[in-house]
Structure 1
Amino acid sequence: MTDTVASARSPRFHRLIWLMPAAYALHIVEEHRGGFAAWVTHVVGGEMNDLAFALNNAAFMAILLALVVWTAVSKSRLATFLLIVWSSGNLFWDALFHVVLTQALDRYSPGLVTAALLYVPISLVVAQLALGERLLTPRAFLAATALGAGLMGLVIWCGLFHFAV
């Protein structure tokens, strides 16, 4: 099996991955308007300011866009794998973060609405297409998703708690 996936086999996946940066942009707006940086500092006990919020999200969006473009243009399995790693961490696992913290803290987590209404369904459709169109094997998909969970954990530990132990 080659590293490149024939575009005839994966037209839906390569079109729908563009929903991820669109959803992420809306999520950034919701988090910003909801005061995510202040929420992290005053509710969660981490530390974040508006500048760090803006810089982190700009960098994460640039990475997401680069991976989407690379995947859409190259159709390579490596690009697809890395896109799933990054997007599972920053969409799927981030949605879980918002849902769990909203429940645990009994308080709205800025970003919850877009995470629940956009991230979860988009992540599930992207997963179904990546597997259904055989762009990744189930084992590779699970590995990418697990790496994405680790990436999200690292982002929380580094970005919100600055490596505090």
Structure 2
Amino acid sequence: MTLADLAWLSMAAYAIHILEEYTFDWRNWARAVIGLPVEWPDFYVTNSVVVALGIAQAMLAPTLPWAPLVYAALMIINAIFFHILPFVKTRGRFSPGLITAVLLFLPLGIAVFRAAGAQGDLDATTVTGAILGGALLMASPVVMLNLKGRPYFDQRNR
């Protein structure tokens, strides 16, 4: 399978992941387990951006292989830090998104890195950049959610 094929499959996997999170009430889980001040509109907008990025990275895969690598890193980071570790830490409390994180995100994320390596597009700098890019993408909505209630960012009383 080509890097572009895997990039499109990654986009599809993310869509299924979003469906799992929504169906099993990720919002209330995130508020209760990880203390994230998230509302459903935040979920919708954030995941709309993830879908747009997924389409972009899949379209760019043939000419810009680092794009699917960043997206793959995002998927792996999401799986480990926002689903698997909280599941372990809470001694088995189900994390909405856990099933697709384990069955889709991890295998596809690893496959993307392997495909990039097989076509000669993987070196230490690229891996580091992809991981940093994925981490920044994962962290940005969390940081913004935590900042939006602060007075400087609150637009309601300005």
Q: Could you tell me whether the CA contact under 8 Å between 2:60 and 2:67 is conserved in 1?
A: no
Which residue of the partner structure matches residue 67 of structure 2?
82
Superposed counterparts of 1:87-98, under 5 Å: 87-89=72-74, 91-97=75-81, 98=83
Q: Could you tell me whether the CA contact under 8 Å between 2:33 and 2:86 is conserved in 1?
A: no
Indicate how the Cα distance of structure 1 residues 12 and 148 shifts in structure 2: closer, same or farther if over 3 A, else same.
same
Query: SS at the partner of 1:27?
Result: helix
Q: 2:85 aligns with which of 100, 117, 120?
A: 100
- Structure with greater proportional helix content: 1
Counterpart of 1:135, as a letter, is: D
How far apart, in 1, do the equivalents of 2:136 and 2:42 lie? 21
Q: TM-score, normalised by structure 2?
A: 0.83
Q: Could you tell me whether the CA contact under 8 Å between 2:72 and 2:113 is conserved in 1?
A: no
* Structure 1 residue 104: Cα displacement: 1.0
**Percent of aligned pairs with the same amino acid:** 27
Q: TM-score, normalised by structure 1?
A: 0.80
Q: 1:158 aligns with which of 133, 144, 148?
A: 144
Structure 1 alignment gaps of length 5 or more: 1-10
* Structure 1 residue 136: Cα displacement: 3.1
* Structure 1 residue 164: Cα displacement: 8.2
Q: 1:135 aligns with which of 118, 121, 135?
A: 121
- List 4+ stretches of structure 1 deviating above 6 A: none
Structure 2 alignment gaps of length 5 or more: 151-158
* Structure 1 residue 17: Cα displacement: 1.5
